[in-house]
Amino acid sequence: MQTRQSNFNEIVMQAIFFLSALISVLAVLAICLFLFMRGIPAISEIGFTDFIFNEKWGPVNIPASYGILSMIVGSIYVTAGAIVIGVPIGLMCAIFLSEFCPDNIYKIVKPAVNLLAGIPSIIYGFFGMQVIVPFVRENFGGNGYSILSASIILGIMILPTIISISESSIRAVPESYAEGSYGIGATKEETVFKVMVPAAKSGILTSIILGIGRAIGETMAVVMVAGNAVMPLNKIELLKPIRTLTTNIVTEMSYASGLHESALISTGVVLFVFIIILNASLSLISSKTQRN
Amino acid sequence: MTDKIKIENVDLFYGDFQALKNVNMNIKENEITAFIGPSGCGKSTLLKSLNRMNDLIEGVKITGRILLDDVDIYKDMDATVLRRRVGMVFQKPNPFPMSIYENVAYGPKTHGVKGKAQLDEIVEKSLRSAAMWDEVKDRLKKSALGLSGGQQQRLCIARAFSVNPEVILLDEPTSALDPISTMKIEDLLVEIKKDYTIIIVTHNMQQATRISDKTAFFLVGEIIEFDETERLFSMPKNKKTEDYITGRFG
């Protein structure tokens, strides 16, 4: 009786765990299904090349045009800008925290980094609008709403991702590597930069890819500082406004209908494909790491 | 033969714990000196003091003098210079996660050797001295982590050779290895002692008798007996040494 009872409990618990696991899988499937079911027909109606490789976005023009190339390029630009700004700072911070930071400073910096991760994106956007946009306007020209402003804000936003994952991967490098390096007369700096950091490279790469994912998918902070004008490709400049895939959706969704609405969902499909590519490269890295 | 290393009145503390008590010892050039004794007796601690690896541990305090060629290594020598002259091989093989070539080239590179031809030469020479050139010459670009444990340890020895040291410290270098790899490393040490001064910490008393010229027996931070290996194992002067080597404790 006792064993039957505990067997029963075990089966129930297993079912609960299985269901919990199932829910996240179902959620992903449902989102994919929704996106592709609503997005793909619109892409075929507009025409794949006209949608992806056309820079002209005029959903209310007659005749309407639905090209998102300018936004794809915009997303890539602001993300690249975020990487250029965020990766060196984040990586240096991670190296400092894991290898050089005295305890009393660590106690201040680490919670600050964690807090940075928890700040809502609307606050980032607000900060960008009030501080970074005027700063860019006054120091670099233009009206401030620009690729540069978006890149700066996104660069700050991806810092916690890059810092915490890089830091823990550098910390996970066995101390025996450092000993081996010190043992042949290397200095602390040589040991850190030539042995410890290279040994953590797969973790560091992972942090950068997750940072890219965060930056490319960010919407609210970008919409508040990027100016959101659809720019023809030859007019895209660092100090000019830009529209990204995400901000295209959020700017127009409230009043779109019909093919216009579907085209916005298709914009989401393109974004989703980017994310899938990023995730695929992540699992590629981790499988490669495991093989070594 | 001249004294390569002189250890004079060395006391060493980890915080409040005294790990070495008034250690005095002279280590001769081109000999193999073995440190034996039960775990926690201070033999590894003394070994690590000889190239200041103890500096990396917080709360270590050392008094007395350790001289390398009559220069005080704690007062008058930079730790990086010291560690280039006094190389170290660790208990667990710890090759870097790089190619075999890069593992050996790392040391000379950090000490400023740049030319490819010169590095190639150093790598080959070091690997030959570690008796593994023929095994790895066709896969120098492969990761060192793909080598067997014994090969990894010999690679670490080659890495130690690469910066042209005068003294090589080995901290139980074969304790993680199989008997054949162990034998290879023992043969290697005997082979190279004509060019180096070698100090080896070992748990294995047969190993000490097989390869060392002198043996020091440690117990709770003190050197109980230090003598020619043959004499120490056949006619120990101290009762404690006798008890240990005959297996009565330890």
Provide the number of structural domains found in chain A.
1
Helix (H) or strand (E) holding B217: strand B214-219
Any idea where the domains of chain B sit in the sequence?
A: 3-245
Task: Note the pLDDT of residue A98.
Answer: 96
- Residue A37 counted as domain residue: no
pLDDT exceeds cutoff 60 at B194: yes
Inform me whether the C-beta atom of residue B53 falls under 8 Å from chain A C-beta atoms. Answer: yes
- Domain of A224, in residue numbers: 65-291
Residues of chain A in Cβ contact (below 8 Å) with chain B? 174, 176-187, 190, 194-195, 198-199, 292
Q: Which of A276, A278, A225, A222 is nearest to A250 (CA)?
A: A222
Task: Note the pLDDT of residue A137.
Answer: 96
Q: What tokens were used for A265?
A: 């969902």
Segment B50-84, tens digit of pLDDT: 999 998 888 899 999 999 999 999 999 999 999 99
Task: Note the pLDDT of residue A292.
Answer: 58
Beta bridge partners of B63: B11
Task: Note the pLDDT of residue B250.
Answer: 59
Distance CA(B167)–CA(B28), nearest Å, equals 10
- Residue A4 counted as domain residue: no
Residue in A174, A185, A198 nearest the CB of B83 = A185
Q: In tens digits, what is the pLDDT along chain A, a chain of 292 residues? A: 556 777 888 999 999 999 999 999 999 999 999 999 999 999 999 999 999 999 999 988 888 899 999 999 999 999 999 999 999 999 999 999 999 999 999 999 999 999 999 999 999 999 999 999 999 999 998 899 999 999 999 999 999 999 999 999 999 999 999 999 999 999 999 999 999 999 999 999 999 999 999 999 999 999 999 999 999 999 999 999 999 999 999 999 999 989 999 999 999 999 999 999 999 999 998 888 776 5
Q: What tokens were used for A76?
A: 């890539």
Helix (H) or strand (E) holding A168: helix A159-171
Pairing of strands B197-201, B32-36: parallel
Contact between chains at A180 and B96 (C-beta distance less than 8 A) = yes
Contact between chains at B110 and A194 (C-beta distance less than 8 A) = yes
- Residue A189 counted as domain residue: yes
Question: Domain with A229 in it: what CATH number?
Answer: 1.10.3720.10
Which residue in chain B is spatially nearest to A199 when comparing CA positions? B97
Which of A184, A187, A190, A202 would best serve as a mutation to test chain B binding (most B beta carbons within 10 A)? Answer: A184
- Residue A108 counted as domain residue: yes
Contact between chains at A181 and B96 (C-beta distance less than 8 A) = yes
Task: Note the pLDDT of residue A18.
Answer: 94
CATH 3.40.50.300 holds for B3-245: yes
**Half-sphere exposure (Cβ direction) of A165: Cα atoms closer than 13 Å:** 18
Give the mean pLDDT of B112-128. Answer: 94
Task: Note the pLDDT of residue B25.
Answer: 94
Give the mean pLDDT of B188-199. Answer: 93
Helix (H) or strand (E) holding B8: strand B3-14
Distance CA(A74)–CA(A95), nearest Å, equals 31
Report which DSSP code applies to B99.
B
* 3-class secondary-structure state, position B17: strand
Which residue in chain A is spatially nearest to B105 when comparing CA positions? A184
Task: Note the pLDDT of residue A22.
Answer: 95
pLDDT exceeds cutoff 80 at B249: no
Task: Note the pLDDT of residue A2.
Answer: 59
Nearest CA to CA, how far is A255 from chain B (Å)?
56
Residue B93 contacts by C-beta under 8 Å, 6 or more apart in sequence?
B149, B152, B153, B155, B156, B176
Residue with tokens 């199989």: B178
Task: Note the pLDDT of residue A1.
Answer: 52
- Residue A1 counted as domain residue: no
Residue in B94, B97, B160 nearest the CB of A179 = B94
Contact between chains at A180 and B159 (C-beta distance less than 8 A) = yes
C-alpha to C-alpha distances, B6 to A27, A125, B70, nearest whole angstrom: 71, 67, 7
Torsion angle in degrees (nearest 10) through CA of A49, A52, A53, A56: 110
